[in-house]
Structure 1
Amino acid sequence: MSKSVKLKAGQPFPKLEATLLDGSSVELGKPAAGKDWQAVFVYRGKHCPLCTKYLNEIEGYLDAFAEANVDVIAVSGDSKEQLEAHLEKVDVSFPIAYGLTEAQMKELGLYISLPRSEQETDHNFAEPGLFVVNEHGNLHVVDISNNPFVRPELGALTRGLNWIKHPDNNYPIRGTLDY
């Protein structure tokens, strides 16, 4: 049985690339649009109605992420065709990438599930994960789940990121103690 490796808070975020709908490559964890941090939301894929709902909810918090100077991107293991079909139900302005490989999912320490049927999807997929990468390229916030029902509440997340980033709070990366 292979051992699951989880990323440690404070360590450099791995260099991982995925593909945007226009075919261009994007480096995950690398903020764009003049932001200094990036929130990388990993979602299960087109087959998951809870993912569709959550992606649409993220859109409603983009101003709060922008207030914290945090860029947002979402990614899944879906194919280009699956993402194109999913965008019929997802109405967002932030980038969504596709093609996250199983090896990349493992590198991120995500839980990976087998499809229950061919109707669900045609590939193994990552369960939800959130990785917030700071201005130094280090993992500042980590949240992974083994099912679609547990995800960060976006209001608490954005308020927390604003608080963490406020210079008067001098809030360190938490959860760095090795055991």
Structure 2
Amino acid sequence: MKESSHLDYILFLDSDMGVVNPKRRIEEFLDENAEVIFYDRFYNWEVMAGSYLIKNSNWSRTFLQGFADYEFRLPKSFHGMDNGAIHAYLAEHALPHNHEIVPICMDIYNHSKGYDDLFLYEACIRTALGNSTLSGKIKILPKGTAWVRDNWMTNSKWNEERDFMIHNWKTTQLRTYSTLPIPYVFFTIF
């Protein structure tokens, strides 16, 4: 980033993300007041570590280096790699060191045995973090408002008005659809 001073922002993407709607632009999601912009995943309380917008600044480079170095601080438990690490790292940056909830969250993280524990830890950290703008430099976009979303939520279909990018595009995830319309099914709960 330092050698690319002509770039104002950098968009980080997991390798399984792609543009589905070229009518949208990433500039729609920029916030000049934020140094780094993350987003909440739609289906749980997870801050997505696999895509973020980052301003090309000294602060952002320091933030990213610290996040990368978190690899050496991961617990011996089921830690979720970068997805688990980003929550602890955000808590370190945005919350006071004596925050009462964070030690409880970290205990869950340090003893996590699977996804249920990991998601509980992430929800715990998100509760502690509260609103979607942290410490003036970090912004977390609310569910359903980001530039990308997981494909499985709509069986790989996308909406021309809403969607820009899709995550989890893997050959094993792609589906073929017939030209027949999906039939309407009527049922009552009571």
Q: Same fold (TM over 0.5)?
A: no
**TM-score normalised by L of structure 2:** 0.26
**TM-score normalised by L of structure 1:** 0.27
**Would you tell me which structure has more helix in proportion to its own residues?**
2
**Would you tell me which structure has more strand in proportion to its own residues?**
1
Larger Rg: 2
